[in-house]
Amino acid sequence: MIDYRKIGLKVGLEIHRQLDTKTKLFCDCPTESVEDAEEFTFVRWLREAQSELGEVDPAAQFEAKKKRKIVYHTDKYSTCLVEMDEEPPHDINREAVEIALTAALLFNSTPVDEIHVMRKIVIDGSNTTGFQRTCIIARGGWIEVSGKKIGIQTICLEEDAARILEQRRGEVHYDLRRLGVPLIEISTTPVIDSPREAYEAAYKIGRLLRATGKVKRGIGTVRQDLNISVEGGALIEIKGVQELELIPKVIELEVIRQLHLLKIRDELKKRNVTEDEIISQPIVDVTEVFSNTKSKIIKKKLDEGARVLALKLPRFSGLIGLEAAPGIRLGAELAGWAKAWAEVEGILHTDELPNYGITSEEVYKLREKIDAVEEDAVVLIVDEYERAREGLEYVKIRAVEALRGVPSETRAARPDGTTVYMRPRPGAARMYPETDLPPYPIPSEYIEELKKKLPKTLDEVASILSEKYGLSKQIVDELIDSEKVELFEKIVKETFLQPSVVASALTEHLKSLKREGEKVENLREEHFVEFFHQVASGKIAKEAAIEVFRWLSRNPDKTVEDAINALGLLAPSLTEIENEIAKLVNENREMVSKNPGKAISIIMGHLMKNYRGKVDGAVLYKLVSEKIYGQKDRN
């Protein structure tokens, strides 16, 4: 177990959430896409770093290095000339400003007197302009997490970027429809000191934002960035953690990564490796070593005209492949830089060789060719000559960083909680004013008005709902946290089903399916609505919920009707059930007259075997009782 306080863990959160406004932040396009709209594409080329910057931003430089074709996909309903950067931005969306200010007040934050829209350089193509528009709405404030106050630094309003669809060498595809959707960004001070606390803070922020009733829900509407550092390590920015539950794991793994890199630094020091020694290493073409190779991956590339280039890392042997946790090793760091900067597919290194069909004889020849002894490591890249050379240059730079410890950088979160190198951290010179828009004043009277009509917090909402529907606070909280309150209320209102039945299906059942590994996120609102309508009309039993939801999460394009047919869940007709009951009563007529209570339970046992999930047990019980007691009276 890592003692997070002892190692000086400090985490700051940046939570981004889309606002549910009618139109985008700087134009009148809707924030919801029109389904089945005809798509069109247009192409732009990545522009060079802007000269108006004065000093060159490292993150901008990183992107500008790549000559890339950018293909935007969109439709005429979701984008106008503003998104295409052919028209200046319209006035800032008042609805979005009001939501952001309301949220700011819920965070005890102080609104600004005047909104100044700024341009933040982003030139990876996710913005057609080469920058993202952003503005500070409020400063300061705090939230309370388990008795501890966590400060809020700023609350910003910004335009969402285009969504990346596909990326390959020299070409990247974006969905432009998302560009311009208003995003609120809540940044905390970096005072969070454990993975658990980070989770709780993010949870709290999410609940406060949702109290506005004006944030979007579902996949892709929330993005969580983490700033993480440990004593002696570096500030690492991790982008795009989608799920709340993943936050603690990302932090744990990042701590392990930083501690591992510090350990490697100390070991390299012990081995007296110097910066000059690494920098002066030549990059050597070793293709001939592999001229008769049995390695399929190398042979395939050589046939395509690739070369094998090698770099010796003096006295690095054993340190590149050394793993601190799955995927966390220096080799992954070296590969990350080479992939991101030179767009190579990856690296090979002697800590993992012989392997991949590369023989020990080839490794021996390789070492001989590049003059590497046992203590040295050799890194290989197989690619076009220039690209491989460039990739190894970055491996070299990253290897130098290993002598210093942890390089400060921006990393991207992956769904398993590990992260991958993305780009250098942006410099301070990244922002400059948006000259197309005048400052937007926020009168203090307006703020006073907003203060008077602040929405209820979700804790207050939970108490009200639990009272109204006779549900436990816990189940109401689960509905709130899974963002199913509106769906729940809609279903109860439309079907008159018991609230507890609907609530437990929407919480407990989904949780148990998720535990089984089913993709319950595939289920759509109309699935639930349709299911409960079928229950209300007596077509299927509420007990069928689990079966139906499981089937639909595997067949998300299908309907509840399809599920009922596929699973054979259609409730039998009343006549059919009555005939079955008559048959069973007849078979058990001795017991019926001797001990009707026992007879009922025997017959119920038979019926439930046949009708479980198809007919409500209570309905069956009523029918059987009526039949038996009716029968008895006649005898």
Tell me if 92 contacts Zn ion by CB under 5 A. no
Of 264, 271, 269, the closest CA to residue 233 belongs to 264
Q: What is the rounded CA–CA span in Å between residue 233 and residue 406?
A: 5
User: Smallest gap, in angstroms, from Cβ of residue 176 to Zn ion?
Assistant: 10
Distances (CA, A) of 229 to 12, 266, 272, 419, 428: 9, 18, 27, 15, 19
User: Smallest gap, in angstroms, from Cβ of residue 501 to Zn ion?
Assistant: 44
Of 233, 129, 153, 221, the closest CA to residue 182 belongs to 221
Q: What is the rounded CA–CA span in Å between residue 563 and residue 614?
A: 13
User: Smallest gap, in angstroms, from Cβ of residue 30 to Zn ion?
Assistant: 9
- Per DSSP, 429 falls in state G
Q: What is the rounded CA–CA span in Å between residue 134 and residue 4?
A: 34
Element (H, E) at 242: none
Q: In this complex, which beta carbon is closest to Zn ion, that of residue 83 or of residue 124?
A: 83
Segments of 501-593 assigned E as strands: none
Q: In this complex, which beta carbon is closest to Zn ion, that of residue 18 or of residue 419?
A: 18
| Residues 74 and 99: beta-carbon distance below 8 Å | no
Burial of 490: CB neighbours in 10 Å, binned 0-12, 13-18, 19+: middle
Q: In this complex, which beta carbon is closest to Zn ion, that of residue 80 or of residue 420?
A: 80
Tell me if 84 contacts Zn ion by CB under 5 A. no
How many binding residues for Zn ion (CB under 5 A)? Answer: 5
Select from 63-71, 79-87, 95-103, 290-298 the region that touches Zn ion (CB under 5 A): 79-87
Tell me if 27 contacts Zn ion by CB under 5 A. yes
User: Smallest gap, in angstroms, from Cβ of residue 128 to Zn ion?
Assistant: 11
Q: 600-619: which residues touch Zn ion (CB under 5 A)?
A: none
Select from 28-36, 400-408, 524-532, 562-570 the region that touches Zn ion (CB under 5 A): 28-36
Select from 26-34, 157-165, 171-179, 499-507 the region that touches Zn ion (CB under 5 A): 26-34
Among 29, 115, 244, 344, which residue interacts with Zn ion (rule: CB under 5 A)?
Answer: 29
Q: In this complex, which beta carbon is closest to Zn ion, that of residue 84 or of residue 497?
A: 84
CB atoms under 10 Å from CB of 114, counted, come to 11
Select from 80-88, 147-155, 216-224, 339-347 the region that touches Zn ion (CB under 5 A): 80-88
User: Smallest gap, in angstroms, from Cβ of residue 218 to Zn ion?
Assistant: 22
Cis ω before 354 (30° cut-off from 0): yes
Q: In this complex, which beta carbon is closest to Zn ion, that of residue 83 or of residue 477?
A: 83
User: Smallest gap, in angstroms, from Cβ of residue 28 to Zn ion?
Assistant: 6
Tell me if 82 contacts Zn ion by CB under 5 A. yes
Q: In this complex, which beta carbon is closest to Zn ion, that of residue 7 or of residue 80?
A: 80
Select from 20-28, 193-201, 236-244, 509-517 the region that touches Zn ion (CB under 5 A): 20-28
Element (H, E) at 311: strand 307-313
Distances (CA, A) of 361 to 34, 265, 290, 354, 608: 61, 31, 10, 9, 70
Tell me if 429 contacts Zn ion by CB under 5 A. no
Q: In this complex, which beta carbon is closest to Zn ion, that of residue 27 or of residue 208?
A: 27
Q: What is the rounded CA–CA span in Å between residue 573 and residue 137?
A: 61
User: Smallest gap, in angstroms, from Cβ of residue 82 to Zn ion?
Assistant: 4
Among 2, 56, 80, 529, which residue interacts with Zn ion (rule: CB under 5 A)?
Answer: 80
Burial of 2: CB neighbours in 10 Å, binned 0-12, 13-18, 19+: middle
In the complex, which residues of this chain contact Zn ion (CB under 5 A)?
A: 27, 29, 80, 82-83
